[in-house]
């Protein structure tokens, strides 16, 4: 396999260090690292990698939303999601965002290099602990026009704001982070509550933890 320029995105430094050693031992070049989604977008703009290995559970901007933003600006860059989540709904959402591969962390040692080879070759790779028909099921779901779950009904901005709410940010602080007004944040918050049928902040936080949007309270 030719040398590939890679950006590592994970909020745990020890995880990034481990993957750096493994990937560099195979001759690949790590051109950047990030520990949150917004930093990842900036680093990718500066380094123009071939591939991003992206954790889903990132602070500031979740890995799936980060992938969607990067793919919009740099569609040729390949993205492999790296996650603890073995739920098919996360696979579907990742593919919707433009991800090219999906690896569950406990299978990373077995799947990593095959995943890189597959996505660089222009194909989709799904971790070996999923059923073989997971891609077929995804294509059927897309063709039917159905949503995989209630979270999918939220807009990208609403997903982003829900993550910030779950991380404990006030509406004022969320507005500052996103460069929008507090009133706009409150409007989005109301829409999120209506779509999810959850009408208190504590419930939104519990929901976000349940679906893995954030790792913990």
pLDDT above 60 for 40: yes
| pLDDT level of residue 217 (50, 70, 90 thresholds) | very low
C-alpha span between 105 and 76 (Å, rounded): 25
> What integer pLDDT is reported at residue 145 of this predicted model?
65
The pLDDT confidence band at residue 213, using thresholds 50, 70 and 90, is confident
Backbone angles phi, psi at 74, to 5 degrees: -135, 70
Give, in words, the CATH class of 5-144.
alpha beta
pTM tops 0.85:
no
Q: Do 93 and 148 contact (CB within 8 A), yes or no? A: yes
Give the pLDDT confidence score for residue 69 in this predicted structure: 94
pLDDT digits (tens, 9 = 90+) for 60-105: 888 999 999 999 999 999 999 998 888 788 888 899 899 999 999 8
Report residue 105 as tokens: 């962390």
Residue spans of the domains in the chain: they are 5-144, 150-210
Give the DSSP H/E element, type plus range, for residue 73.
helix 63-73
In degrees, to the nearest 5, what angle opens at C-alpha 63 toward C-alphas 144 and 157? 70
Q: Determine the Cα–Cα distance for residues 126 and 32; give it in Å rounded to an integer.
A: 24
Closest alpha carbon to 80 in 15, 127, 129: 127
Q: What's the chain's Rg over C-alpha atoms?
A: 17
CATH number 3.40.50.1360 given to 150-210: no
């Amino acid at each position: 396999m030719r040398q590939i320029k890679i950006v590592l995105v994970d909020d745990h430094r020890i995880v990034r260090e481990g993957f750096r050693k493994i990937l560099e031992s195979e001759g690949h070049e790590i051109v950047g690292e990030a520990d949150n989604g917004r930093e990842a977008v900036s680093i990718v703009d500066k380094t123009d990698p071939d591939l991003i290995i992206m954790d889903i559970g990132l602070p500031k901007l979740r890995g799936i939303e980060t992938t969607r933003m990067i793919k919009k600006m740099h569609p040729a860059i390949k993205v492999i999601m790296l996650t603890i989540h073995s739920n098919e709904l996360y696979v579907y959402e990742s593919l919707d965002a433009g991800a090219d591969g999906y690896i569950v962390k406990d299978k990373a040692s077995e799947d990593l290099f095959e995943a890189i080879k597959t996505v660089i070759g222009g194909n989709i790779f799904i971790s070996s602990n999923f059923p073989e028909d997971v891609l077929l099921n995804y294509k059927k779901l897309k063709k039917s026009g159905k949503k995989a779950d209630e979270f999918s009904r939220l807009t990208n901005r609403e997903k982003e704001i829900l993550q910030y709410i779950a991380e404990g940010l006030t509406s004022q602080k969320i507005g500052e982070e996103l460069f929008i007004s507090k009133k706009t944040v409150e409007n989005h918050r109301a829409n999120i509550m209506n779509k999810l049928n959850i009408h208190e902040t504590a419930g939104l936080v519990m929901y976000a933890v349940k679906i893995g949007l954030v790792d913990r309270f």
